[in-house]
Amino acid sequence: MQRYYVTTPIYYVNDKPHLGHAYTTIAADVLARWHRLNGADTWFLTGVDEHGQKVLEAAGKKGISPQAHVDAMVQPYKDLWARLDIRYDDFIRTTEPRHKAVVQAALLKLKEQGDLYEDVYEGWYSTAAERFWTEKDLVDGKCPDTGQPVQWVQETNWFFRMSRYGERLREWIEAHPDFLQPASRKNEVLGYLRKDLGDLCISRPAARMSWGIPFPWDESFVTYVWFDALLNYVSAVGFSPQGENGPDFARRWPAQHHLLGKDILTTHAVYFSTMLFALGLEPAEHLYAHGWWTVEGEKMSKTIGNVVDPHLLVDEYGADVVRYFVLREIPFGNDGDFSHKGLLERTNADLANDLGNLLHRASSMTGKWLGGRIGALDAPTPADLELQGLADRAVAGFARELEAAQFHKALESLWELVRAGNKYIDTEQPWALNREGKTERLGGVLTRCLEIIRVAATLLQPVMPTKARELAAQLSLNADPLLALGCASLDHLVAGTVLPEPAPVFPRLLELPPRIQEALAKAQAPTPPPPPPSPSLPVPEPPVDETTPAAPALIGIDDFGKIQLLTGRIVAAERHPSADRLLVLQVELGEDKPRQIVAGIAARYEPQNLVGQQVVVVANLKPVKLRGIESHGMLLAAGGKDVRGLVTVGEPLPPGTLVR
């Protein structure tokens, strides 16, 4: 029996599920449903990643245990998958004993075979920022992020000898050209491998970050989140690094497809593959990195993300239409834009006009002229044979493309048949056949149109499970599921079967739903676009959240008084010669000559537009060299790492005016 095992990344439980998560999961669900439909021994795994710094912090803020926190946070994912009609076979959580046991056993195995070693890392550690800094990072000997003192820490950690397996991975990729998809991504990974592959630090001292899987031989360490998370793909199906594998492991692994976002390609392709090699396993057959969605032409952000809140989309369009749209609109692997206008046009053109209307016109004519009963097929004409040929090609193309995760091509292939159906009606002119009393031919023609709908209903089951059933119901087909095997043959319907009263399965959308319009109007409000979210898995090192900083300690007025803020006027601005995000500014502060200030605002401002701009400057900051250029102060700007706007003063003031 053919077998098929597909996975999504396990999503970071602290994030709210969004369109990116939904996209990957819908794609995996469609693949799983398709293989299930074809009788393959199918397994679809999704889940959540529950360890790491951010979970710990969030739980701390809520005053509950991390476990209680993740227990609550997992529900939104399960809810959304239910609403999107996602039928997974297993949902893994990394806090489950079955997973922890595998991670720990894997650690032991690697240690025993000499793939782990301890090493001492020395560096300046900032407790406030919870990270290491190099000597040159430090400002005035203090943490550059928080200004807090740093300590020279010698920290022991465990390292995985990833470097041992780099060459093998390179060979594997060369020998399996379809391993990394799309092909362009393969180059990225090979480029990454061209550099010397280092070893991977896979532990964190529990004293510093306790929310993780403890090392089996030393509980003062917990497992690095990636090492933990990646193993879910094998732990969930019964891998046992040291003992006997679970009964299902052999029939599941290696998986056929890992679907993931392009941002986590390296971790999967490099970290995970080498881990598998070390554990004596082979990687999955295909690792497919898909693109990111922009929304209404903008990078996804909290603001714009609201207009594609998956629950809103399901409420207003229905799960099936959302599923269809995201898979049809862009090639899997490319970035794409989700616009409501695009969705409206796409669904009207494809679903209402082409497919829905084909059914409606055929069933209406059957109702009107054949008493609502499916007509018998007549002897095929050349046109009929041609139609059959098209059906054969459409079904074959659909299957081929779908199995390659080329959803848009698969659907396009089916739609060639649907369009041919509309054309067939036009050339055969059933209304003329009716007028002329050619009932036998009329029955044959209309039935072939209904057969096309049957083919569509069959192939669309994985993509639009509910709508496919509705299509089938319009044909009085009760079989569930409709078997895909042999479905291309346009002779399945039983003559004489009574059809229900025709009803549009895909109503035309005349305008965007009111709630969508409201959401769009709200999002129009001019908020510049912050950075894109990662649609999947955890970030390697949890960065400090800039938008909602942990409540800082209260300071007195005297502390504030240490900061000298002055108005200034930018008199010259140019790009930093060797740093993309930096601008080198000359700012007039009322001193004998302008100050040179380097600012990380190049992503948002053109140098020429800044000249003459009034700004507020931290004037008594210690000078520092930024990528070789001295900076004597700092511009105030709103936003975190993504600058949203410069701080200025409402009216023109002489440079050097005190600000407080």
Residue numbers of the site for RNA (CB under 7 A)?
137, 139, 144-145, 184, 187-188, 191, 262-263, 299, 330-331, 334-336, 345, 349, 352-357, 359-361, 364-365, 368, 419, 422-423, 425-427, 429-432, 504-508, 532, 576, 578-582, 597-600, 618, 621, 624, 626-627, 631, 633-634, 641, 643
Residue 323 structure tokens: 């599923």
Least gap, CB of 335 to RNA (angstroms): 6
Nearer to RNA, 89 or 470 (CB): 470
Least gap, CB of 653 to RNA (angstroms): 21
User: What is the C-alpha separation between 268 and 173, in angstroms, rounded?
Assistant: 13
Task: Count CB neighbours of 384 within 10 A.
Answer: 18
Nearer to RNA, 145 or 155 (CB): 145
User: What is the C-alpha separation between 457 and 451, in angstroms, rounded?
Assistant: 10
Determine whether 176 is exposed, middle or buried from the number of CB atoms within 10 Å of its CB (0-12, 13-18, 19+): middle
Taking alpha carbons only, the member of 555, 547, 531 closest to residue 638 is 547
Taking alpha carbons only, the member of 228, 239, 333, 250 closest to residue 287 is 333
Query: Which 3 state secondary structure label does DSSP give 366?
Result: helix
User: What is the C-alpha separation between 500 and 324, in angstroms, rounded?
Assistant: 25
Nearer to RNA, 481 or 531 (CB): 531
Task: Check residue 332 and report its DSSP letter.
Answer: B
Cα torsion at 455, 460, 465, 471 (round to 10°)?
-40
User: What is the C-alpha separation between 249 and 240, in angstroms, rounded?
Assistant: 9
Question: Which of 321-334 are b and which e, b meaning 16 or more Cβ less than 10 Å from the residue's Cβ?
Answer: bbbbbbbbbbebbe
Least gap, CB of 580 to RNA (angstroms): 4
Nearer to RNA, 78 or 419 (CB): 419
Q: How many residues does the chain have?
A: 660
Least gap, CB of 596 to RNA (angstroms): 10
Least gap, CB of 536 to RNA (angstroms): 13
How far from 6 is each of 3, 176, 193, 483, CA to CA, in Å?
10, 18, 26, 21
In the numeric block, the tokens 């900061």 are attached to 563
Least gap, CB of 179 to RNA (angstroms): 16
Nearer to RNA, 65 or 429 (CB): 429
User: What is the C-alpha separation between 565 and 496, in angstroms, rounded?
Assistant: 87
Least gap, CB of 532 to RNA (angstroms): 7
Nearer to RNA, 250 or 349 (CB): 349
Taking alpha carbons only, the member of 331, 218, 235, 327 closest to residue 276 is 235
Nearer to RNA, 511 or 651 (CB): 511
Q: List all residues 6 or more positions away from 218 whose beta carbon is below 8 Å from its beta carbon.
A: none
Least gap, CB of 211 to RNA (angstroms): 23
Least gap, CB of 506 to RNA (angstroms): 4
Nearer to RNA, 240 or 586 (CB): 586
Residue 91 structure tokens: 């949902």
Nearer to RNA, 60 or 528 (CB): 528
Least gap, CB of 142 to RNA (angstroms): 9
594: enclosing H helix or E strand: none
Nearer to RNA, 182 or 216 (CB): 182
Chain centre to alpha carbon of residue 338:
13
